[in-house]
Amino acid sequence: MSNDSRTLSRRTLLKLMGGVAATGMVAACAPAVAPTTSGGAAAPAQADVTIRFWNVWGAAREELMNQIIARFEEKNPGIKVQNLVQPFERREENLFTALASGDPPEVLMSSRAEVLRFANDGLILPIDGYVTANNLDLSRFYPSEIGNFYWKDKLYSMPMPTGGGVTSLTLVNYDMLRAAGKEDQTPATWTELEEMAKEFTEIDDKGIVKIGATVGTSASDFFAWLYCNGGSIYSDDLSKVAFDSEAGVQTLEWMVNFTNEINGGVQNVTDFFAGPGEATEAQPWYNDAQLINFPNVSIFFHMQTYKPDMQWDMGLRPYNASNADAKSQGLSGETFAWGYVVPEAAPEAKREAAFKWLQEITYEEESGGWFVMQQGRPSPIKAVNEDPSFYEVNPHWDKVLQSLESDVSVQILPVHAQVRDAVNQGVQAAFFGDASPADALAQAAQQAQGIVDDYWSQEG
């Protein structure tokens, strides 16, 4: 069809049109789903169950996943897994529509906030029964990791990869320190961070040339620093928002002052990191233009690719030493922690197989564990991370493990995405000088509390 069509003659058009109808019909007839099949061309008499596995592990990772599937299918004759890799673009719409349709895939990869939402609305199945029946030992996971997938005392997923290690890591470029004739040092407190940042940030008339550090400008950054200042997002019973506490106001004030005084304002920071895009070699971090970085765990793999000879070290996220209650702490599950869920709409006959596959990609060391290890990332399974080969990718691996141990699983509500956006409004207002940090947070808290109250009033 594609080879010879220089000009679309009427005949070719008609042929194409016929092709459309024919392809459409064939596609319509071929059951993409094969419900409790038999009669498929390839499958003989065997009663196969096909699990549609919906995920965003694209590119090189698709191949890794296919290897896991091959092994799984060998172990479990009768179960077929279809690897439905989706583009990351417009992920929410795609996932949400599939799930709301009444005929969703049997296993879906989704973020923690989504998992809680789906669990709350009764859209997905708890896995406690399966876990008990198969004697799964959940203590193999870090408590903060498995803790992310409980809602109202029921477990809905197991983790893979880690949700932690997102906010606790603090990396320092020693090449830059040494070139400037400074001692090797990793900041442990807010004051140390300020001092190091001040020394290395260079600004000219067009903005930042080199940056010591940025404390970030979004709600997620605010939450990360809040937990290093003894604060929390919600009250323990999740009935009240708590980020507008004294610690919260102090945190936001510190962030705004840091950004204005050291980096010349929020726009300078945005501009400095705009351009080449995330995860590319042109980022300042790979070009000796950024001294301190607060990345997530996927950076080790990127550093191996982009700047393997860099001298660096790492510590935990600096805390506010002037606050006696504060300590370094990482958040697990506030933003992205990936889980895998089985929809309530999955037919009985497929559920057992779906749970089995869920177990394979999360719980099994040689599958779920192996998958993240291949990417140089830590696993939520503690034992996997003890493999010495991690040190080849990352000489400071012990500190990654330390950070994972220090992580807390933040308790969040199913309406957290909305709460986070409300906080983001306040954080932005403070950074752009529309309101003082205290006023901005008070405003955001009022907004967020309304969302939380709405949620609880609907729960009855």
Q: What is the largest CA-CA distance in the chain?
A: 81
Dihedral angle of Cα 187, 190, 195, 199, to the nearest 10 degrees: 80
> Which of 167, 107, 327 shows the shortest CA–CA distance to 231?
327
Please tell me whether residue 310 binds other proteins under the rule CB under 8 A: no
Please tell me whether residue 222 binds other proteins under the rule CB under 8 A: no
Please tell me whether residue 80 binds other proteins under the rule CB under 8 A: no
Please tell me whether residue 41 binds other proteins under the rule CB under 8 A: no
β-partners of residue 215 are none
- Alpha carbon 332 to its chain centroid, in Å, reads 9
Please tell me whether residue 102 binds other proteins under the rule CB under 8 A: yes
Structural contact between residues 189 and 320, judged by C-beta atoms closer than 8 angstroms:
yes
Structural contact between residues 145 and 330, judged by C-beta atoms closer than 8 angstroms:
no
228 vs 222: CA distance, rounded Å: 10
| 328-367 footprint of other proteins as x/- string (CB under 8 A) | ----------------x-----------------------
Is the four-CA dihedral 134, 137, 142, 143 of positive or negative sign? positive
Residues numbered 439-458 forming contacts with other proteins, rule: CB under 8 A: 447, 450, 458
Task: Give me 15's structure tokens.
Answer: 């042929």
Residues numbered 191-220 forming contacts with other proteins, rule: CB under 8 A: 206-207
Please tell me whether residue 302 binds other proteins under the rule CB under 8 A: yes
> Which of 134, 294, 328 shows the shortest CA–CA distance to 214?
294
Residue (112 or 196) nearer to other proteins, CB: 112
Structural contact between residues 284 and 211, judged by C-beta atoms closer than 8 angstroms:
yes
Please tell me whether residue 105 binds other proteins under the rule CB under 8 A: yes
Bridging pattern class, strands 330-332 and 407-409: parallel
Applying CB under 8 A, which of residues 19, 35, 129, 395 lies at the interface with other proteins?
19
Q: How far is the CB of 326 from other proteins (least distance, A)?
A: 29
324 vs 326: CA distance, rounded Å: 6
Please tell me whether residue 73 binds other proteins under the rule CB under 8 A: no
Residues numbered 413-432 forming contacts with other proteins, rule: CB under 8 A: 415, 417-418, 421, 425, 428-429, 431-432
Applying CB under 8 A, which of residues 65, 79, 99, 176 lies at the interface with other proteins?
99
Applying CB under 8 A, which of residues 47, 70, 100, 180 lies at the interface with other proteins?
100
Please tell me whether residue 101 binds other proteins under the rule CB under 8 A: yes
Q: How far is the CB of 283 from other proteins (least distance, A)?
A: 8
Task: Give me 48's structure tokens.
Answer: 């196969």
Residue (103 or 175) nearer to other proteins, CB: 103
Quote the strand ranges of 303-364, DSSP E. Answer: 312-316, 330-332, 338-341
Only segment of 35-43, 88-96, 174-182, 252-260 that touches other proteins (CB under 8 A): 88-96
Please tell me whether residue 42 binds other proteins under the rule CB under 8 A: no
Residue (299 or 410) nearer to other proteins, CB: 299
Structural contact between residues 343 and 109, judged by C-beta atoms closer than 8 angstroms:
no
Please tell me whether residue 279 binds other proteins under the rule CB under 8 A: yes
Return phi, psi of residue 115, to 5°.
Answer: -60, -45
Quote the strand ranges of 4-151, DSSP E. Answer: 49-55, 79-85, 107-111, 150-151
Only segment of 14-22, 152-160, 174-182, 318-326 that touches other proteins (CB under 8 A): 14-22
Applying CB under 8 A, which of residues 121, 199, 261, 453 lies at the interface with other proteins?
121
Only segment of 38-46, 58-66, 144-152, 317-325 that touches other proteins (CB under 8 A): 58-66
β-partners of residue 381 are 141
Only one residue has tokens 């141990």, namely 405
Residue (7 or 139) nearer to other proteins, CB: 7
Q: How far is the CB of 275 from other proteins (least distance, A)?
A: 5
Residue (167 or 229) nearer to other proteins, CB: 167
Structural contact between residues 370 and 68, judged by C-beta atoms closer than 8 angstroms:
yes
Please tell me whether residue 221 binds other proteins under the rule CB under 8 A: no
Please tell me whether residue 281 binds other proteins under the rule CB under 8 A: yes
